[in-house]
Amino acid sequence: MSIIIDSEQCTACESCIVACPYGGIEIIEGSAVITPDCNLCGACVDACPVEAITLERTEYIDKVDKSQFKGVWVIAEHYGGEIHKVAYQLLGKGRQLADILKTDLTIVILGTNFDQILSSFGDYGADRVIYVESKILKHYYSDIYVNLLSDLVSERKPEIILIGATPTGRDFAPRLAKRLNAGLTADCTGLEIEEETRNLRQTRPTFGGNLMATIRTPISRPQMATVRPGIFKASNETKKKIKIIKIEKDLNETDSVTKVLKVIKKQKTTVNLEDAEIIVSGGRGVGSKEGFKIIKDLADALGAELGGSRVTTELNWVEPDRQVGQTGKTVSPKLYIACGISGAIQHLVGMQNSEIIVAINRDKDAPIFGIAHYCLVGDLHEIVPILTKEVRKIKSED
Amino acid sequence: MKVFVCIKQVPGVSEVKIDPKTNTLVREGIPSIINPHDKHAIELGISIKEEYGGEVIALSMGPPQAEKALREVLSMGVDKAYLLTDRAFAGADTLATSHTLALAIKKLLKETNVEQKYIVICGTQAIDGDTAQVGPELAEELNIPQITYVLKFRLEEDDKVIVERAFRTEEVVEIETRLPVLVSVVKEINVPRMPGVQGIVNAYQNKEVIYLNADDIGADKSEIGLNGSMTEVWKIFIPEKKVDHVVLTGTIDEMVRELCINLHDDKVI
Ligand SMILES: Cc1cc2nc3c(=O)[nH]c(=O)nc-3n(C[C@H](O)[C@H](O)[C@H](O)COP(=O)(O)OP(=O)(O)OC[C@H]3O[C@@H](n4cnc5c(N)ncnc54)[C@H](O)[C@@H]3O)c2cc1C
Ligand SMILES: Nc1ncnc2c1ncn2[C@@H]1O[C@H](COP(=O)(O)O)[C@@H](O)[C@H]1O
């Protein structure tokens, strides 16, 4: 397996150099040359306008008999007796994948006290529940999860396993993958089936979201993916009659090499703007410290973090660690709502990588509109409260 | 006691930008840096040594230029540094990477004949791939307990390890286990120290970065690099940026409603 460059074809245009995330290609004497930094990712292959670069793949030799593996699995997690919502979202996507593959969809729960709700998973598209019951599974244990799941997978051989990309999912999924010698793709935001090969195309952001990569697991099974919460939608369009498989296990604390000593609830003191999915920021246009109440209300309605421009932190309208921009935080949430912010470059550099930017400003020529996806020209004091109300309404319907 | 810390050299991605005109990656002058989480892993390693004694060993798998990252951590106070570098390692996914790191750790443990009291520390995730998979996979291959997303770490008598794990934003779980153990740390655990002048001099004059290739660690070529990888990068592409501006019009109510419909379609609310 290697990258082959046809130096006759190569025009030294440097497209490949620009495309390479690793600095693994150089132009030497009029032709592109691979350097030791090359990571064989293949970005240069697609970038080359004259098709001078090819990724020579060794012939695929299957590591397992893939035909033995059937079915799509979703592994649920739970806290405080409740199934995490990402499990329902994965059932929504899993149903689509299973339909294309003409196979069935199973949800796997390791827990206790879930008997009452098992049949309800049929409403979300599952054909089957595998419920491993033990008192101790009220809590999460890495090693017990991996032991139980690897046994189940080895015995029943699903071809796809989907897991929420939460701290828990990202803890046991890799260890499980290693034990099964299975490929695992982290934190996916897109899943598609390649029908002829039954391969799962798993798309995920890399390089801080600047690039997307599509990953496949062509030579082995199962194909495992952790999936970001909030990407897929739960669906109750296909109600299924559900088959319940309950496996009771007699486990106790000594079956784990770790012991949960205590669970510490903490209030959110540290502001974590960098990881926030939604940020609502206010600027000088908000007018006063009291004025921030409506911004905060909108943030709360959206489950968002509150941010501010430098002016607002200097005036102490919001806490200093909420400042976004060159001398503040660099953020890239899915949604950034700028209220009464002009959009000075020092502010823009801190938030321009946000996926969707909404700007509310009464000056239609404010620079913030230059990078905003949705522009609302008007007085924020009128717009924001109405927006908050609408958001609350939508949330209560969801 | 041996404290192994796994570090990765990564492109400073916060500086990787997309040129909006050509829609290509601008990586001119992008420095390679130590993966930010891994500096916290190094800091924990050094502080464990300071408190409980032992030896801190940094490991990195990467191209020869990753020596720079290892020199940097030597200057922070790491005792020994190993660079796993070989063309055969290229193209490794997390399974192959963790296998390679595990082979190196096993080899070093065997060589020094230490009792099996050791700690492996990783960053939670590397900013280039963001997978957070190498730590748990390495723990599995070494057959030792793992605790990820670690916020606090302490050792007690009888090789007891007590850590706090960031479980969810509003919850921390205190967990007990025993050595040997692998922990992966989050940034909040500590503030990495800056190397002092003497540290920098030491790193370049008195310490060395030891190179290991596939043969040195006894790797089977089918289990490392691209050959040992189950996943394959099928395509890399630049995400389509939404460039279409939508200027909402009408009364405030209409503007707000239309905005919400759009945001709902965009799956952000
Ligand atoms: C070295 C340096 C570093 C800096 N670092 C940062 C940084 O990290 N972060 C940062 O934010 N700034 C930073 N700045 C400051 C930056 O240049 C701007 O001064 C600042 O961002 C402006 O904040 P603003 O948009 O809130 O205020 P203004 O520029 O005053 O804009 C207020 C906006 O609100 C609108 N508005 C007013 N009333 C209403 C209303 N009722 N309804 C709707 N809209 C209304 C106005 O039309 C205007 O566009 C830095 C500056 C320097 C020199
Ligand atoms: N090539 C590598 N060499 C050494 N350590 C690594 C390497 N890749 C990953 N790691 C370690 O594993 C952690 C998680 O990386 P990742 O799974 O790539 O997100 C990093 O923070 C490092 O501690």
Query: Do B148 and A373 count as a contact with CB atoms less than 8 A apart?
Result: no
* Average pLDDT rounded to a whole number, residues B103-115: 86
Cα distance from B69 to chain A (closest Cα, Å)?
14
Measured between alpha carbons, how far is A167 from A155 in angstroms, rounded to an integer?
27
Give B-chain residues touching A40 at CB under 8 angstroms. 90-91, 226, 233
Query: Does ipTM surpass 0.90 in this model?
Result: no
Torsion of CA A146, A148, A150, A151, to 10 degrees: 160
Question: What pLDDT is attached to residue A79?
Answer: 87
**Would you say A232 and A211 are in contact if contact means Cβ atoms under 8 Å apart?**
no
Q: Tens digit of pLDDT for each residue in B204-233? A: 999 999 999 999 999 999 999 988 999 988
Domain chopping of chain A, boundaries: 2-56, 66-255, 273-397
Sign of CA dihedral A219, A224, A228, A232: positive
Per the CB < 8 Å rule, is B24 touching A63? no
Instruction: Give domain A273-397's CATH number out of 3.40.50.1220, 3.40.718.10, 3.40.50.620, 3.20.20.70.
Output: 3.40.50.1220
**Chain A neighbors of B96, CB-CB under 8 A:** none
Quick one: tokens of A13?
């245009």
A314 lines ligand 1 (CB under 6 A): no
pLDDT, greater one: B158 or B56? B56
Long-range contacts of B248-255 (CB under 8 A, 24+ apart): B248/A374, B248/A375, B248/A376, B252/A378, B252/A382, B252/A383, B252/A386, B253/A386, B255/A376, B255/A378, B255/A383
pLDDT at residue B145 tops 90: yes
> Which residues does chain A have within 8 Å of residue B140's beta carbon, measured at their own beta carbons?
146, 174-175, 178-179
- Judge whether residue B137 has pLDDT over 80: yes
Q: List the beta bridge partners of residue A206.
A: A211
Ligand 2 mutation pick, B4, B7, B8, max ligand atoms within 8 A of CB = B8
Q: Does any CB of chain A come closer than 8 Å to the CB of residue B231?
A: yes
| Type and span of the H or E element at B32 | strand B32-34
Matching CATH topology for A2-56 and A66-255?
A: no
Measured between CA atoms, the residue of chain A closest to residue B141 is: A178
The answer to whether residue B20 scores a pLDDT higher than 60 is no
Percent of chain B with pLDDT over 90: 68
Q: What is the mean pLDDT of residues B68-88?
A: 96
Contact A208, A172 (CB under 8 A): no
- Ranges in chain A, pLDDT < 70: 1, 57-59, 208-210, 266-270
* Residue having the nearest C-alpha atom to atom 14 of ligand 1: A346
SS3 state at B188: helix
Give the torsion sign (CA, A38, A224, A94, A141). Answer: negative
Structure tokens at A102: 């003409």
Residues of chain A contacting B33 with CB distance shorter than 8 Å: none
Domain A66-255 is in which class? alpha beta
Residue contact B248–A374, C-beta within 8 A: yes
Query: Which residues on chain A are in Cβ contact (under 8 Å) with B171?
Result: 79, 263-266
Q: Which fold has domain B2-223?
A: Rossmann fold (3.40.50)
**pLDDT value of residue B13:** 60
Cβ-based neighbours of A196, under 8 Å, separated by 6 or more: none
Cβ of residue B16 closer than 8 Å to a chain A Cβ: yes
- What pLDDT does residue A212 have? 83
> What is the token pair recorded at A161?
């396993």
Residue contacts between A and B (CB atoms, under 8 Å): 282
Q: Which amino acid is at A87?
A: A
Per-chain mean pLDDT for chain B: 89
> Which residue do the tokens 């595990």 mark?
B102
Contact (CB<8Å) A265/B162 = no
For B17, which residue in chain A has the nearest alpha carbon?
Answer: A210
Burial class (CB in 10 A: 0-12, 13-18, 19+), B174: middle
Contact A181 B95 (CB under 8 A): yes
Of all residues in chain B, the one with the smallest CA distance to A378 is: B252
Evaluate: CB of B77 within 6 angstroms of ligand 2. Answer: no
CATH of domain A2-56: 3.30.70.20
More confident position, A121 or B188: A121
Interface with chain B: mutation pick from A89, A227, A264, highest number of B CBs within 10 Å: A264
Q: Is the CB of A379 under 6 A from ligand 1?
A: yes
- Residue A114's pLDDT is what? 97
Q: Is B114 on the interface with A (CB under 8 A)?
A: no
CB-based contact B133 A174, cutoff 8 Å: yes
Q: Examine the pLDDT at B240 and tell me if it is beyond 70.
A: no
At A315 the pLDDT is: 93
Better pLDDT: B196 or B16? B196
Per-residue pLDDT, B11: 81
Q: How would residue B18 be classed by pLDDT, with cut points 50, 70 and 90?
A: low
pTM: 0.77
Nearest ligand 2 atom to the CA of B92 is 1
The mean pLDDT of B235-260, rounded to a whole number, is 83
Atom of ligand 2 nearest to the CA of B133: 17
Instruction: Report CB contact under 8 Å: B90, A302.
Output: no
3-state secondary structure A77-146: CEECCEECHHHHHHHHHHHHHHHHHCCCEEEEEEECCCHHHHHHHHHHCCCEEEEEECHHHHCCCHHHHH
What are the pLDDT digits (tens) for B161-177?
A: 999 998 776 688 999 99
